[in-house]
A and B are shown apart, each in its own frame.
Chain A
Amino acid sequence: MTRAFNWLIPHPLLTLILTLVWMLLQNELSAGMVVFGVILGVIIPWGTSIWWPDTPKGFRLGKMISYSFVVIWDIIVANIQVAWIVLTVPTSKLKPAWIVVPLELREPEAITMLAGTITLTPGTVSADLSDQGHSLLVHVLHTDDPDGVLDDIKTRYEARLLEIFS
């Protein structure tokens, strides 16, 4: 039974997300559309499963949802901070800096999420990954304390992602 389920729905979360995306695209809620969404949600992951060779070993959905709320809140705060910097700090007084983040995360999916989060949050853009994937290069717009920013990234985001993908 479990094997049949795994064969039919190799990625349950992807199925759920595809169904949801289909329903949002339709922009109306009707039973027929839900059924069609579920059919699409089953067929697409099944048909593309050969291009998904490695799934991350662990994935905790509950922690992921609380992580999303932290990130959405940080995005709003980040936007106000960056808008303030843009409007008040003159170009000559700006202190940009490179930060190197040593990574404890190893799964490509987790590193991608960390890089995306860093780009969307306070004054930082993730720029590059080292050739073996052990550190992440981050550019900071304006900071007096690069180590503080590094600590923030490590404790606020990477620690949470380590819990999600464990």
Chain B
Amino acid sequence: MTPQIISTYLAGLSLIIGSGFVVVGVIGLLKFNDPMTRLHAPTKVGTVGIGMLLAASIVHSYGIGEPSTHELLIMAFLFVTAPISANFIAKVNIHRRACETPPAPPEDDTWSTLNVPEGNIEADKAT
């Protein structure tokens, strides 16, 4: 077993695991029927799925003797941006009343997405 063969097998294994997770994410997106539950599968499964695909790329680059690590940057940026896009989709769902109305917060008046100034409510419903 030379390092090249080992790295090829490792890269192949990572590719299989990664694409498996991505497929599960897609199934989750298609299977559930509520906008909020549909949000769960792609946000989480996507991170490990793509993480494993990038890991395969790193392992392969070391295997062929051209070390490359900037895949780590893609992973880091993905981890930073994935929660933000999820948060925005959730906010849109709440704003459009596409999901169950959340319970009121204990201390403050309301959730910031539902905090629409009085005059704007009619215009908000019209859109």
Contact = CB atoms under 8 A, between A and B. Distances in A.
Given A130-B112, A141-B37, A125 B43 contact: yes
A132 interface: yes
A130 B110 contact: yes
Contacts of A118: 83
Contacts of A123: 40, 44
B87 A137 contact: no
Given A83-B21, A86-B28, A86-B31, A132 B91 contact: no
A137 B105 contact: yes
B100 interface: yes
A100 B39 contact: no
A56 interface: no
A interface, how many residues as a size bin?
A: 35 or more
Pick from B80, B90, B109 the residue with the most CB of A within 10 Å.
Answer: B90
B79 A120 contact: yes
Interface in B31-73: 31-34, 36-37, 39-41, 43-45, 47-49, 68-70, 72-73
Interface in A70-93: 75-76, 78-79, 82-83, 86-87, 91
A35 interface: no
A117 to B, nearest CB: 8
A129 interface: yes
A82 B87 contact: no
B27 interface: yes
Contact of B47 (A27, A120, A134): A120
Contacts of B73: 21, 24-25
Contacts of B111: 128-131, 137
A120 B102 CA distance: 21
A141 B84 CA distance: 18
A41 B108 CA distance: 40
Contacts of A83: 21, 24, 45
A79 B22 CA distance: 11
Give 9 closest A-B pairs by Cβ, nearest first.
A119-B83, A127-B90, A86-B28, A130-B105, A130-B108, A79-B48, A116-B83, A132-B108, A135-B105
29 contacts: A21-B73, A24-B69, A27-B69, A75-B47, A75-B48, A75-B79, A78-B44, A83-B21, A83-B45, A86-B41, A98-B103, A115-B83, A119-B86, A120-B43, A121-B44, A123-B44, A127-B90, A127-B102, A128-B111, A129-B112, A131-B109, A131-B110, A131-B111, A134-B107, A134-B108, A135-B108, A139-B39, A139-B90, A141-B37
Interface of B: 21, 24-25, 27-28, 31-34, 36-37, 39-41, 43-45, 47-49, 68-70, 72-73, 79-80, 82-84, 86-87, 90-91, 93-94, 100, 102-103, 105-113, 115
